Structure 1
């Protein structure tokens, strides 16, 4: 084997489109072992991991996978992918002695404190806070979700959630109109219908229809057009996205009180990061009536590290000696 047997951990981040797999030595992910697979090319996770183990020639001692979907009693149902993952399947695929399944935002929460400083971009300043202050990770990518991070004497706990399927907030005329527009998708205006990759695309269509110039584009094309500055509809879509993200993040901050900071993660979060400061994110985040001043207690940053969920999975295994 290319690696000594039963010495390394296998970690994986399973998104709606791609699955990343890597090896870890304790909390350290071996970057040269990271491989990416298109989910559409495989019937399920077991075939992905079997391929990786064959290609990497490894017999892992433990394995942890982070999945974009709810995890309950050791079983995960993917939100944007027709895969079901359980611990029995994971153990069979990896032949690891111990296995764990986390929600992807749980893995991102476990990564906090193990990410290089140059991979964190500040959006709103961080006030002083204790080392045990609660933190909050918010994932914006193929889907949307969040998870509070709690520090206890016995160790860190990251609570799972499915907040992307909560009702989209709407209190301005613009937001009410948007809410009605997105509800035509499945009869219910969810946060994820706007704050995700396909949400950017939906916003772009909405902006075009409002102006009498209907148009469609992929999220990557919209962001490229916004950067180029030659598409007013793209700019407007990003403005609405930024304000809505601020409003939702502010709501979640009031629910969880993350005095240790709010951390935005995911591909879409990284794509919109350069526009948040100038497109109304902070105003919407703090627009909480008489609690507007209180909202200055919460710093906000974007995690630029695309492999943070792998690091978090490795940290989870190491912290529990799995």
Structure 2
């Protein structure tokens, strides 16, 4: 039987690290504190009934290395011994994983806690700055990223440690501001009458926005998936897709500015997520930055906050690896999120 405890004691190597989103799961093994992670192919969550099966088939069956510990980041709140993912039918059961996968301990984090861990040490080569701003060393940072959902997290510095702050910030309200917004909003699909940021700023949200624009224009939507919409926008094949991507960036800039204010992120705001990566070739950087700064009466404050695009596609795994190697450098509360195998098992 497994027990749970808190604390940031060193983990036993080899360590399995995993970033589990709504659509994809990425795994690697850290053999020791100095080795580069041993990477494994990306897994489609829909291809496996459970996370245990995915780890066994795509990792353990592919290597002779037996992990002793695991640090997993999942797209959903970590609460209790059965952890539901927000946009995926997998349920993470750490007690069951300890016995079934031969692990000694498991730590489970929110996926954007992993992104926050990553931005504690993201090198300049893994990010691109948009606009101005000055990094205040030791100041709070924030990260958000549209993917299957909209993830948000903060990173604060205290007592010589970085402390990730996770939550469900992607579900804050997002409202119309311009006449065009006001024409689009009545056509958006809502959740119980409410438009949250995630209703627009994620994969299905981009489709939602595109369909609303088509409805306002009085045309039939010709595209059905986020990939089709971004591809049509990048290649200028569909005017509604182009407007949807432009507005997507504007709305993301607005929300990023809100998150900057919430965390007073003078250390920078970082934008991740695969969707944003795909629209960078046609991103109107000046408009994106303007939407970020348009926060009267605090526009001057926002002008001084750096805004970055994360260009490292495996940032979450990098963050997990950083934590796994040196957990003492992070003020990460693991009580209720850390499971140990019973002695002798």
What TM-score does the superposition give when structure 2 sets the normalisation length?
A: 0.84
Q: Say whether residues 1:14 and 2:20 are aligned partners.
A: yes
Q: Say whether residues 1:111 and 2:89 are aligned partners.
A: no
Counterpart-to-counterpart distance in 2, 1:209 and 1:180? 10
SS in 1 for 2:243: helix
Q: Say whether residues 1:259 and 2:266 are aligned partners.
A: yes
1:273 counterpart residue number:
280
SS in 2 for 1:179: helix
- Correspondent of 1:148 among 148, 151, 154: 154
Which deviates more from structure 2 when the two are superposed, residues 250-259 or residues 51-60? 51-60
1:114, 1:311 within 8 Å by CA — same for their partners in 2? no
Q: Say whether residues 1:33 and 2:33 are aligned partners.
A: no
SS in 2 for 1:22: strand
Q: Say whether residues 1:211 and 2:220 are aligned partners.
A: no
> How far 1:269 moved relative to its partner?
2.1
> How far 1:288 moved relative to its partner?
1.4
1:28, 1:311 within 8 Å by CA — same for their partners in 2? no
2:257 counterpart residue number:
250
1:291 counterpart residue number:
298
> How far 1:72 moved relative to its partner?
2.5
Deviations 1:106-141 (CA, angstroms, capped at 9, x unpaired): 0011112444432212123340411x1110010211
Within 5 A, what are the aligned runs for 1:229-240? Answer: 229-240=236-247
What TM-score does the superposition give when structure 1 sets the normalisation length?
A: 0.90
2:99 counterpart residue number:
92
SS in 1 for 2:297: helix
CA RMSD of superposed structures (Å): 2.2
SS in 1 for 2:71: strand
SS in 2 for 1:270: helix
- Correspondent of 1:198 among 181, 191, 204: 204
1:133 counterpart residue number:
139
| Matched residues, number | 316
Inter-CA distance 74–169: structure 2 relative to 1 (3 Å threshold): farther
Which deviates more from structure 2 when the two are superposed, residues 8-17 or residues 180-189? 180-189
> How far 1:56 moved relative to its partner?
1.9
Structure 2: stretches of 5+ with no match in the other structure: 1-11, 329-337, 339-345
1:3 counterpart residue number:
none
SS in 1 for 2:156: strand
SS in 2 for 1:290: coil
Counterpart-to-counterpart distance in 2, 1:115 and 1:225? 32
1:54 counterpart residue number:
61
Counterpart-to-counterpart distance in 2, 1:42 and 1:26? 29
SS in 2 for 1:11: strand
Counterpart-to-counterpart distance in 2, 1:149 and 1:176? 34
2:172 counterpart residue number:
166
Structure 1: stretches of 5+ with no match in the other structure: 1-5
Counterpart-to-counterpart distance in 2, 1:201 and 1:27? 43
